[in-house]
Amino acid sequence: MRSAPTILHLDMDAFYASAEQAAKPSLRGKAVVVGGLGPRGVVATASYEARRFGVHSAMPTAQARRLAPHAAYLTPRFTLYRDVSNQVMGLLRELSPLVEPLSLDEAFVDLEAGGAAFDGGSAREVGERLRADIRRVTGLSGSVGLAVSKMLAKIGSERAKPDGLVLIDPGTERQLLAPLPVRVLPGVGPATGDHLRRAGITTVDEIAEAGQDELVRLLGRAHGTGLYAMALALDERPVVSEREGKSVSVEDTYDLDIHDRVRVRGEVARLAERCTRRLREAGRSGRTVVLKVRRYDFSTLTRSETLRGPTDDPAVVREAAARLLEGVDTTGGVRLLGVGVSGLADYTQEDLFAQAAGERAAAEAEAAAEADELAPQGPAAEVVDPVAPAAPEERRWPAGHDVVHAVHGPGWVQGSGVGRVTVRFETPTSAPGRVRTFRTDDPELSLSAPLPLVEGDGGAGEG
């Protein structure tokens, strides 16, 4: 293990909620909750103002509403969050070639590998400069931990929140860890934590006192040995570049179970498109396609298919995911669907057979649609009046999303329902704006791309 605190962990503060507050002047200093707003929605992030009411991430949104009924509840805007994340990760890559993102708002950096720092003093200077640069470029705050290992750096950033920096001096690690709960250690989740608690072990110091043999007896050799080393502040895990990621995946949770098999197929196809788009944005390809299905009874199934070579072709991934879906029973309803690609590589070797199959399927579907158009209707078929136009589908206006009005300019959706949509007209750089209400089918109102949080930062558009 190194002797200088040159591993940095950055964690953006209440990232989604802070980005929304930065984008919406009327919400600054107020309780903001970002997440799913339907009956089964969960909180993704709560602002620090909302946390005072007991709201926290992974909490059901319905429970959050009971705790903080006057908070602003917004649906996520991942286009904005990804763009801000790209700005932050760009600043980290200027410090070192070894940047290990854990999520959009969190990453490890090996400062030594980039020559950015070599001791505690230089590491602290880099950390403070990074925090200032993040605020200048994005308008948001991040907390920084600095230590000799990844585990300790992450603990440091947690202790630094919000908007601070903590450097853990070499030689003080055991003293720092001793009173902390066992869940602070990597690899200790709810199940392992409960198992240790039943054995009378609740703190890191008690893990160290129990000894390696007892931990191996309780948890098995690999887990027990690793956990004992962590309790002694021994963490040899290196910072690995983001290019070492093992998979790319996307998933959606649905407010109401999906029972229609046709819609399930359509959702899987859409997820496959999103997954390959992310794959291409990362400059990667993969050879194993994974389908995830969570059914009405919360049982979760995963199915995978390994192709002959790596691919980033949407048709190939879509076709493989569709084949995997055929082997899954969804008759009781589906709560969640996901599509992923693993076995990543930096090159593609197209699965020509799968691609050809996808093209044939598309051609067959097109031919079938043409045949349906030309086929005479049976006596039981629904007769459609060719003169009467079909009723247009009502436009959706997700709470918190950006809009632009031909007269009033840019704003965001405060809420919608019963044929009306309420918009507050303001921008990240304006004063709190006025509220107006329109019909949901108002032709002068449309959804728009997010505006940049800071003037002159290049914008946060579709990308």
Give 275-302 pLDDT, tens digit per residue.
998 888 777 788 899 999 998 777 888 8
Question: Which contacts (CB < 8 Å, 24+ apart) does range 455-463 have?
Answer: 455/429, 457/87, 457/137, 457/138, 459/83, 460/79, 460/80, 460/83, 460/84, 461/79, 461/83, 462/79, 463/79, 463/82, 463/83
- The predicted structure's pLDDT at residue 102: 84
> Which amino acid type is present at position 79?
T
Active-site residues: which are they? 106
pTM of the model: 0.70
Token pair of 123, please? 């590491």
- The predicted structure's pLDDT at residue 96: 95
Give 176-230 pLDDT, tens digit per residue.
999 999 999 987 878 888 989 999 999 999 999 999 999 999 988 888 898 999 9
Mean pLDDT of all residues in 336-360: 59
CB contact set of 55 (below 8 Å; sequence gap of 6+): 31, 33, 43, 46, 64, 67, 68, 71
Confidence of residue 391 (pLDDT cuts 50, 70, 90): very low
Give 230-243 pLDDT, tens digit per residue.
999 999 989 988 54
Task: Work out whether the CA dihedral 196, 201, 205, 207 comes out positive or negative.
Answer: negative
- The predicted structure's pLDDT at residue 306: 87
162 pLDDT more than 60: yes
458 pLDDT more than 90: no
Question: Which contacts (CB < 8 Å, 24+ apart) does range 164-169 have?
Answer: 165/124, 165/127, 165/128, 165/131, 167/5, 167/120, 167/123, 167/124, 167/127, 168/5, 169/5, 169/120
The bridge status of strand 106-110 relative to strand 7-12 is antiparallel
Helix axes 212-219, 221-231, angle to 10 degrees: 140
- The predicted structure's pLDDT at residue 344: 76
Mean confidence (pLDDT) of the chain: 86
